Amino acid sequence: MLVSTVDELMVLLANGEDVWDMPDRSGDPVDILDHDRQCAELLRQRFPRDEQLQVAGLVHDIGHQLVPGDDAGHGRHGANAIRELLGARVARLVELHVVAKRYLAATDSAHTERLSPSSQRTLIAQGGPMNAAEIAEFEADPDFDAALALRRADDAGKVVGLTVAPLDSWIPVIKRVATQRPLDQDHGELVSE
């Protein structure tokens, strides 16, 4: 499925309410919509000038809705669905959030221990911790820092009952990112404030 308009994206995101990353609800403790909004809000707080990163956080798990049960491919499915609308950098970050998980599993044992049971289980399906060559290749990626920021927000955005901005408050941000697409060859900017 390709998402070609902001309206289509908003419907897809809204449809994440009461949809879970695992069909039997054994995964994350919040539904996909709540999780995505928490992730985006964390990124907005930490990186207020990087709207592409924030929007990547908002859409990073739509692949779970597009192809339910494909934990290993959900980043790729989501990226392919939104690339035309939101641009190459947002799509790349969506895809890299799974890669970043594998990186952190290989390089940060404390991070790995804090993964939710669902994330620990799906890590194996996603290729497990990276090997040395994969680590070196990922560290050289121009989106390395942003992908790690997204991954950390992904892991932190699973708080039951956390109040975050409503979905429709993201419409102006999504529209700005959608109109910036031709500018994302320079990979935007990752600035924490």
- pLDDT per position as a tens digit, 62-109: 998 999 888 889 999 999 999 999 999 999 999 999 999 999 999 999
Model-level pTM?
0.89
* Percent of the chain with pLDDT strictly greater than 70: 91
Closest CA to 156 of 59, 3, 42, 1: 42
Residue 57 exposed, middle or buried by CB count within 10 Å (0-12, 13-18, 19+): buried
Q: Which residues contact 57 (CB under 8 A, 6 or more apart)?
A: 36, 39, 40, 42, 43, 150, 153, 154, 157
The encoded tokens of residue 82 equal 């939104």
For position 182, what pLDDT does the model report?
53
Determine phi and psi for 121, rounding to 5 degrees: -70, -45
- pLDDT per position as a tens digit, 31-54: 999 999 999 999 999 999 999 999
Mean pLDDT of the chain: 90
Closest CA to 181 of 79, 49, 87, 50: 87
Residue 73's alpha-carbon distances to 60, 61, 168, in angstroms, are: 12, 10, 27
